[in-house]
Structure 1
Amino acid sequence: MSALDLIDIRKRYGSVDTLKGIDISLESGEFLVLLGSSGCGKSTLLNIIAGLAEPTAGEVRIDGRSVNGVHPKDRDIAMVFQSYALYPNLSVARNIGFGLEMRKIPRATREDAVRKTAGILQIENLLDRKPSELSGGQRQRVAIGRALVRDPKVFLFDEPLSNLDAKLRMEMRTELKRLHQMLGTTIVYVTHDQIEAMTLATRIAVMRNGQIEQLATPEEIYNRPATLYVAEFVGSPPMNLLDATFEGNTLSIDGSNARIVLPAHLHSTEARRQVVIGIRPEALYPIAQESDQPSIEAKIEIVELTGPERVVSGSVGSQKLVASLPQQTAITSGALQRFGCPIDALHLFDRKSGERI
């Protein structure tokens, strides 16, 4: 039995369709990340799962039981918000155990559960403090503890790390990963941060305009994006997308003399098909001008040292090309440079539909 099933979930506000038919089946212990830009519908979907909003159509099932119309407190879910929403006048211990207190759980049982949760989160020494005495990362641990102590069927996280600085975000990502691996909890997590999605998820649902563009593992999302949107949205620097014409087994890049000749068995079944070539920046590598392997020549415009790598920006005719190269790579602005790319690292998309070929 699935831990969570979303069946044709739709949400309409007036004449605006916010969600346009979402279908997801989540097994127990999965970590699903809803990834997308602002306004794509991911938080609306999370609120529908939580019971904070009702779908216009469709059904939400938790452990096989329909929860449409069921009050949030009766759904056996716990939610961690972007704001910590802690009670400032209560100690950490009482903040964590507040939900149990409201359910009239005996004090001894409640205190034991709070101590156990604090141990898991490594905040035992903070139990007597007030929220105002805590750092941002500690407050977020307390908010997670308040959800964790209830032992719900599904955890919901709504951009919980967005208020933290970069260092704390990295630490909390590691902490969430550790908790998930240790407890095997079922999690639905909303973010617009692709690094959070790639590092935390067992599966990612990339959302756009109220629909799912692709639902897959992080590896598949990155290595085999289903659409142009996914290809461009996931990856830093983002994937190079070059307009080209595909005829026979040759890709001719628009606005330039660049040609990529594919192996004979990789050929277009259509005459002069308009496509987009996708190439991850890290798949490109410099080659000598006299090399006879498939390549792309670019005029180098900017060279940036990021620390571990050298990010090179250039142009192929009228189109932009970015390559992520090893730090020690010798390359200069203004030069013409040929780049090789493994054939299996080329992604082809239909230009009109945006679908992967």
Structure 2
Amino acid sequence: MSTLEIRDVRKSYGSVETLKGIDIALASGEFLVLLGPSGCGKSTLLNIIAGLAEATSGDVLIDGRSVIGVHPKDRDISMVFQSYALYPNLSVARNIGFGLEMRKVPAAERDKAVREAAKLLQIENLLDRKPAQLSGGQRQRVAIGRALVRKPRVFLFDEPLSNLDAKLRLEMRTELKRLHQMLKTTVVYVTHDQIEAMTLATRIAVMRDGRIEQLGTPKEIYDRPATLYVAGFVGAPPMNMLEGTVEGGKVRVKGSDAALPVAEAHDLPDGAAVIAGIRPEALRLDDGAAASLPARVEVVELTGPELVATMRVGEQKLVASLPARTHLTEGETVTLGFDADALHLFDPETGRACGRG
């Protein structure tokens, strides 16, 4: 287990700055997920940690020692790629042990390490097969096994599950979670999938345009999004965003008579424009809740475990995730209730959560 520290890392390609000052400190055994859309800089940052790209400025430290300028093979890290990168002509056993073979590790020691990794990954019966004889999930297990046998100080994962179908992704997420709990290794994991981030991470760094929008635990990211961007990116369906104005300690929703309570901690003046955020799953058919919204039902979709209803509050769109047995008719008007602390307020100019600087 090792610590990892990233200090003011910047990366430019000519006049284009892709990383704009990244600062992260990981304790030993943490599982950090770099979460964001394509082009936000997450893979660039991972490659800088691995030594596959050079930072324009800044520093990367493993166990307190800088690895800037250190060759990738000497950083004591292992990386798992999206494409598996297996040798098609080698058996599973040789693919897993190839790195050890190149380091001249004795055959007996190498064989023991390969079998231990295969047992952890539950692929002991596949060791004599070639990659072409494996499923996508099995190939990814082999790629992870190749990283495991080196027993590195830091594991790096670059969207390792994105080539798998939905069922296999779920299985591999569970497997990765189990492995981390067993091995307690330090992990940096890149993905654009918020479900992977929420289920795997001890901390998430939500990235946007080469910067970290918010760094925190999955619960902090979900319950207290620091910006409109984070609020809209994390959550499925995404958080509802209603334009409004503060009037007499309430938020008057634009184009509607609805007035939502404002927590005293926000201390917003009358006339202040705000964006009121409410997660779809926080809404329910009104049962005397502290806060409520009249809404007109437009579209109703049964997903199986829940009913997703698209509605209108005035002319603004609102989505509610309700119990599957809820009966709604398109065109009817209902009253939706929610707890007052489920309301998030954002400054429409800065995009930042009100009361968070």
* Mapped pair 1:309 → 2:310: no
Question: What amino acid is the match of 2:185?
Answer: T
State the match for 2:278 in structure 1: 279
Contact (CA 8 Å) 2:289, 2:337: kept in 1 or not?
no
Alignment partner of 1:342 out of 335, 339, 343: 339
3-state SS of the aligned residue for 1:221? helix
Q: CA deviation at 1:248?
A: 3.1
State the match for 2:20 in structure 1: 20
Pairwise mapping of residues 50-199 of structure 1 onto structure 2 (< 5 A)? Answer: 50-199=50-199
State the match for 2:29 in structure 1: 29
Larger CA deviation: 269-278 vs 58-67 = 269-278
Question: How far, CA to CA, are the matches of 2:142 and 2:31 in structure 1?
Answer: 20
3-state SS of the aligned residue for 1:176? helix
Question: How far, CA to CA, are the matches of 1:151 and 1:68 in structure 2?
Answer: 21
Pairwise mapping of residues 164-313 of structure 1 onto structure 2 (< 5 A)? Answer: 164-262=164-262, 265=264, 268-287=267-286, 293-313=290-310
3-state SS of the aligned residue for 1:300? strand
Q: CA deviation at 1:330?
A: 1.3
Question: How far, CA to CA, are the matches of 1:97 and 1:266 in structure 2?
Answer: 57
3-state SS of the aligned residue for 2:43? helix
Taking only the aligned residue pairs, the percentage that are identical comes to 71
Q: CA deviation at 1:137?
A: 0.4
Q: CA deviation at 1:273?
A: 0.8
Contact (CA 8 Å) 2:204, 2:217: kept in 1 or not?
yes
Larger CA deviation: 195-204 vs 266-275 = 266-275
Q: Unaligned stretches of 5+ in structure 2? A: none
3-state SS of the aligned residue for 2:29? coil
Question: How far, CA to CA, are the matches of 2:273 and 2:254 in structure 1?
Answer: 10
Q: CA deviation at 1:269?
A: 3.8
Contact (CA 8 Å) 1:6, 1:25: kept in 2 or not?
yes
Structure-2-length-normalised TM-score = 0.97
Question: How far, CA to CA, are the matches of 2:152 and 2:241 in structure 1?
Answer: 43
Q: Unaligned stretches of 5+ in structure 1? A: none
Alpha-carbon spacing, 1:26–1:307, altered in 2? closer, same or farther (3 Å): same
Question: What amino acid is the match of 2:149?
Answer: V
Question: How far, CA to CA, are the matches of 1:200 and 1:88 in structure 2?
Answer: 30
Question: How far, CA to CA, are the matches of 2:298 and 2:257 in structure 1?
Answer: 19
Question: How far, CA to CA, are the matches of 1:225 and 1:270 in structure 2?
Answer: 22
Question: What amino acid is the match of 2:101?
Answer: E
Q: CA deviation at 1:267?
A: 6.1
Question: How far, CA to CA, are the matches of 2:162 and 2:205 in structure 1?
Answer: 19
Question: How far, CA to CA, are the matches of 2:259 and 2:121 in structure 1?
Answer: 55
Q: CA deviation at 1:246?
A: 1.3
Question: How far, CA to CA, are the matches of 2:323 and 2:261 in structure 1?
Answer: 26
Q: CA deviation at 1:111?
A: 0.6
Contact (CA 8 Å) 1:249, 1:267: kept in 2 or not?
no
Alpha-carbon spacing, 1:159–1:267, altered in 2? closer, same or farther (3 Å): closer
Alignment partner of 1:327 out of 324, 329, 335: 324
Q: CA deviation at 1:2?
A: 6.2
Question: How far, CA to CA, are the matches of 2:290 and 2:340 in structure 1?
Answer: 10
Question: How far, CA to CA, are the matches of 2:278 and 2:61 in structure 1?
Answer: 40
Q: CA deviation at 1:7?
A: 0.1
Structure-1-length-normalised TM-score = 0.97
Deviations 1:113-134 (A, max 9, x none): 1111111111111111100111
Q: CA deviation at 1:261?
A: 3.5
Question: How far, CA to CA, are the matches of 1:50 and 1:247 in structure 2?
Answer: 52
Question: What amino acid is the match of 2:284?
Answer: Y
Alpha-carbon spacing, 1:2–1:184, altered in 2? closer, same or farther (3 Å): closer
Question: How far, CA to CA, are the matches of 1:346 and 1:107 in structure 2?
Answer: 61
Alpha-carbon spacing, 1:292–1:4, altered in 2? closer, same or farther (3 Å): closer
3-state SS of the aligned residue for 2:214? strand
Contact (CA 8 Å) 2:206, 2:213: kept in 1 or not?
yes
3-state SS of the aligned residue for 2:221? helix
Q: CA deviation at 1:266?
A: 5.3
* Cα RMSD, aligned residues only: 1.3
Question: What amino acid is the match of 2:276?
Answer: I
Q: CA deviation at 1:247?
A: 2.9
3-state SS of the aligned residue for 2:255? coil
